[in-house]
């Protein structure tokens, strides 16, 4: 049996079953969803093994139709890498939700929406067809609009509305771009489009389409100046969803799609890469500065996501193998520590009932697990060795210097210092200092929440080893190769293992 269709199918099927059967029993929802996310994570690891045993990428033709006519699903190093990230974090999040979502009503609706979103993300990653990509992107987006508004208070609804509008604008641009692309290439299969584009070359219409794509996917990825929806939407959602949105959603829908289109389909060109570097650099500092000014725990983290996405885009914009490696590595790291931090914020909110860091303090004594995992995550994201974020930032900065962009390397360090500053602010106000008297009875969060946080913290520490040559060649290098030899993607229909 072919595993590729399972990635979107498991999520979709699970969502269907949970909505059908979950109303009766909360326990069934918990177990069933966790089994599905766990299975997806297992499958992603398995996909890595399959890929290792093959010489070329895997292509699956849906319904047996030949690619230009039918839809194809593609598994190469990059999609396998993304699948691992997405499904690992999703698994941790569902584990965490078992306890956390107790305080909300209608847990099964949450799980339904979550699984739909997950199916959408997995679909975006495995699909080889650009219109299919759009459909999955919309599935994930629509589910996320609902999830942002899940609390149905005024704040959540406002955030969700803003997010809905901005994100629909993005979807519209993307759809328009696809229309342009289709009119030019007469095919929707991405590999075929790549073939046509390399034969016919780019004309102004294609430039126009690529601008539409950049705007659309930058909106999804929250790159400055297209970021404004994120600081409202991410904090308003329940903590597991915030973790999912910041940790994997913007990467699967924004960064991954940008990579796929501009490295594999259009082919990277210097003007585009310079643009990416500029956008990344602006995001790094604007995000960091805005985060530094925040006193809301989750809003601070949301701005921090903009800041960290900036590093990824900067690395991608360098276009050198080292820069791409750094960007992909940072993408992995960021999804681990940012979801961990959002789960920490959820744990703190769960116990003390507020998100304003000025009202907290001294929680280190009362919540040792939350406090130490959040310290690990903060150190990772600030690039303190020996945690994983240090290594990815090191690679990105080294790549900047080797590519001759010394100014960008100092710019990146400036962003890193600001990151350290706002995480120090967070740590100082939340976990260190004096414990206010009203929190004397605060207790550590329940078991599953702790488990998820601890496992993510372990990933933060172990993640640093991914850059060791012996480990790198299994996970990072295949993904890196897909992007460094970007235009090889067009041959995928011929050479791909069926």
Partner 1 sequence: MDYRSFFIFDSLSKFVGFFVCFFTVIIFIYSLGFIKKKKFAYYSWFFLTFIASLGAVFSSHIIALIIFWGFLGLTLFQLINLYSDKEVAAVAKKTFIIVGGSDGLLLVGLLLYTHLTSHYYITGSPLPINNTLAFVAFLSIAIASFAKAGCMPFHSWIPDTAETASTPVVAYLPASVDKLLGIYLLARIVKDMFILDNISKAILLILGALTVLCAVMMALIQHNTKRLLGYHAVSQVGYMVLGIGCASTLGLAGGLFHMLNHAIYKSCLFLGAGNVEKRAGSNELEQLGGLGKFMPVTFITTLIASFAISGVPPFNGFVSKWMVYQGLIDFMNSSVSTGLKFIIAMSLISALIGSGLTLASFLKLNAGVFLGRAKGKVEEARPSLLISPVVLAVLCIAFGIFASATILPFIEDSVGNIPMIGLWKPQPATVLLLLGILLGLIIFQLMAKKVRISPSFVGGEELNFEQEPNIAPFYNTIKELAFLKKIYALAERKFFDIYEQSRKFTFLFIRFLQYLHNGVLPTYLVWCLLGMIGLFFIFFR
- Binding region for partner 1 (CB under 8 A): 161-162, 165-166, 169, 204, 207, 210-211, 214-215, 218-219, 225-226, 228-229, 231-232, 271, 275, 286, 289-290, 292-293, 361-362, 364, 379, 382-386, 390, 393-394, 397-398, 401-402, 406, 409-410, 412-413, 416-418, 420-421, 424-425, 427-428, 432-434
> Alpha-carbon torsion 7, 241, 165, 221, what sign?
negative
Shortest spacing between CB 356 and partner 1, in angstroms: 16
What are the Cα distances from residue 367, in Å, to 166, 350, 486? 38, 12, 47
Shortest spacing between CB 427 and partner 1, in angstroms: 7
Q: Which is nearer to partner 1, 213 or 256 (CB)?
A: 213
Tokens linked to 455: 């496992």
Q: Which is nearer to partner 1, 146 or 290 (CB)?
A: 290
Q: Which is nearer to partner 1, 20 or 207 (CB)?
A: 207
Shortest spacing between CB 91 and partner 1, in angstroms: 29
Shortest spacing between CB 279 and partner 1, in angstroms: 9
Cβ(376)–Cβ(333) below 8 Å:
no
Q: Which is nearer to partner 1, 17 or 400 (CB)?
A: 400
Q: Which is nearer to partner 1, 286 or 331 (CB)?
A: 286
Nearest to 284 by CA among 164, 383, 189: 383
Give the gyration radius of the chain's Cα atoms.
21
> Which distant-in-sequence residues (6+ apart) come within 8 Å of 225 by Cβ?
282
Shortest spacing between CB 359 and partner 1, in angstroms: 14
Count H helices and E strands in the chain, helices first.
23, 2
- Burial code (b: 16+ CB inside 10 Å, e: under 16) for 123-152 equals bbbbbbbbbbbbebbbbbbbbbbbbbbbbe
Cβ(276)–Cβ(313) below 8 Å:
yes
Q: Which is nearer to partner 1, 249 or 411 (CB)?
A: 411
Shortest spacing between CB 291 and partner 1, in angstroms: 9
Cβ(77)–Cβ(479) below 8 Å:
yes
Q: Which is nearer to partner 1, 42 or 386 (CB)?
A: 386
357 secondary structure, DSSP code = G
Shortest spacing between CB 124 and partner 1, in angstroms: 22
């Amino acid at each position: 049996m072919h595993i590729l269709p399972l990635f979107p199918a498991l999520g979709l099927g699970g969502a269907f079953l949970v909505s059908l059967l979950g109303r009766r029993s909360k326990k069934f929802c918990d177990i069933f969803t966790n089994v599905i996310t766990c299975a997806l994570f297992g499958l992603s690891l398995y996909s890595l093994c399959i890929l290792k045993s093959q010489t070329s990428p895997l292509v699956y033709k849906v319904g047996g139709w030949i690619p230009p006519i039918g839809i194809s699903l593609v598994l190469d190093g990059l999609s396998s890498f993304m699948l691992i990230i997405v499904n690992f974090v999703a698994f941790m999040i569902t584990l965490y939700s078992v306890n956390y979502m107790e305080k909300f009503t209608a847990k099964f609706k949450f799980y339904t929406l979550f699984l739909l979103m997950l199916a959408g993300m997995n679909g975006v990653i495995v699909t080889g067809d650009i219109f299919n990509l759009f459909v999955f992107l919309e599935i994930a987006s629509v589910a996320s609009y609902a999830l942002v508004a899940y609390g149905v208070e005024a704040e959540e609804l406002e955030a969700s509305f803003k997010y809905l509008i901005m994100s629909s604008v993005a979807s519209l641009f993307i759809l328009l771009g696809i229309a342009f692309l289709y009119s030019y290439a007469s095919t929707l299969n991405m590999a075929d489009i790549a073939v046509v584009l390399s034969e016919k070359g780019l004309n102004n219409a294609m430039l126009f389409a690529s601008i539409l794509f950049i705007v659309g996917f930058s909106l999804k990825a929250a790159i400055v100046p297209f970021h404004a929806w994120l600081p409202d939407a991410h904090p308003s959602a329940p903590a597991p969803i915030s973790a999912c949105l910041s940790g994997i959603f913007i990467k699967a829908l924004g960064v991954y799609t940008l990579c796929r289109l501009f490295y594999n389909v259009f082919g990277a060109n210097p003007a585009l890469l310079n643009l990416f570097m500029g956008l990344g650099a602006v995001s790094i500092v604007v995000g960091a500065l805005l985060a530094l000014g925040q006193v809301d725990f989750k809003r601070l983290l949301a701005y921090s996501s903009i800041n960290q996405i900036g590093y990824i885009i900067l690395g991608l914009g360098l276009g050198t193998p080292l820069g791409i490696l750094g960007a992909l590595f940072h993408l992995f790291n960021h999804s681990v520590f940012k979801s961990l931090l959002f789960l920490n914020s959820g744990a703190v909110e769960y116990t003390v009932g507020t998100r304003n860091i000025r009202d907290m303090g001294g929680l280190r004594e009362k919540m040792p697990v939350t406090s130490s995992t959040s310290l690990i995550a903060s150190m990772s994201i600030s690039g303190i060795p020996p945690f994983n974020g240090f290594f990815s930032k090191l690679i990105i900065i080294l790549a900047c210097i080797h590519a001759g962009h010394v100014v960008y390397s100092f710019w990146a360090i400036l962003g890193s210092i600001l990151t350290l500053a706002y995480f120090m602010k967070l740590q100082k106000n939340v976990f260190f200092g004096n414990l206010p008297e009203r929190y004397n009875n605060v207790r550590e969060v329940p078991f599953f929440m702790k488990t998820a946080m601890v496992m993510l913290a372990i990933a933060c520490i172990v993640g640093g080893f991914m850059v060791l040559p012996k480990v790198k060649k299994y996970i990072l290098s295949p993904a890196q190769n897909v992007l460094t030899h970007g235009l090889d993607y067009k041959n995928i229909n011929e050479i791909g293992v069926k």
